[in-house]
Amino acid sequence: MTTSEVINLTTVKRDPTFVDSLTPAGRLLSRCIQCGTCTASCPSAPAMDFTPRQMWRLAQLGFQDQVLHSKAIWLCSLCYTCHVRCPRGIPLTETIVKLKQLALQERISEWRESTAFYRAFGDVMRHYGRTKEIEFMVRYFLATNPLSALGYAGLGLTLLRRGKVHLEVPRLGGEGRLDRLFERVAELEGQQ
């Protein structure tokens, strides 16, 4: 965020209960003293729209839309450096996982290159029970930008030649290996 992008506290919609949905940190986020250790530790911070420190402040104040639409949450690579360094002991990395989950549930349309990754991976995992790299990448590129797959064509051929990935005929349809478990989990979560 540049200094010119000021968020007007009185006009922007806020949800003070937002922080409660952010497990596992939740109310622990109120402990955040804005020291910036998370931002200083984050290898992706320079590419973020909001830095981690700014994002936690927005979350504390209930700026749900700003946080869930941010690019920042999709740049977290789960390295857990902020998590282990936070002097207030807030479980930050796993709270970012929750932010990603909420953004996926809200079907937020920005950052499709990231959201499609999680959906495609989830579909393949559910269907096969294990990860099939080629099918996953095909689904991912079809869901995002099929032309961008060309940028990976050279590497793809190298990996095929080295036996790192295998060409398999995708067998879509039919009962998936983990369908019943996924359905049961959805049912149980619906009951909560």
- Chain contacts with another protein (rule: CB under 8 A): 23, 43-44, 47, 74-75, 77-81, 83-85, 93-94, 97-98, 100-101, 104, 113-114, 117-118, 121-122, 125, 129-133, 137, 140, 155, 158-159, 162-166, 177-178, 180-186, 188-189
Nearest residue to 127 via CA among 180, 166, 165: 180
Instruction: Note whether 88 and 27 are within 8 A (CB).
Output: no
Instruction: Note whether 22 and 29 are within 8 A (CB).
Output: yes
Tell the smallest beta-carbon distance from residue 7 to another protein (Å): 24
Closer CB to another protein, 1 or 121, in the complex: 121
Closer CB to another protein, 7 or 27, in the complex: 27
- How many Å apart are CA 16 and CA 118, to the nearest integer? 28
Closer CB to another protein, 65 or 94, in the complex: 94
Please name the amino acid found at residue 116: A
Tell the smallest beta-carbon distance from residue 30 to another protein (Å): 20
Tell the smallest beta-carbon distance from residue 114 to another protein (Å): 5
Tell the smallest beta-carbon distance from residue 185 to another protein (Å): 5
Closer CB to another protein, 164 or 171, in the complex: 164
Q: DSSP character for 75?
A: G
- How many Å apart are CA 97 and CA 14, to the nearest integer? 21
- How many Å apart are CA 157 and CA 176, to the nearest integer? 29
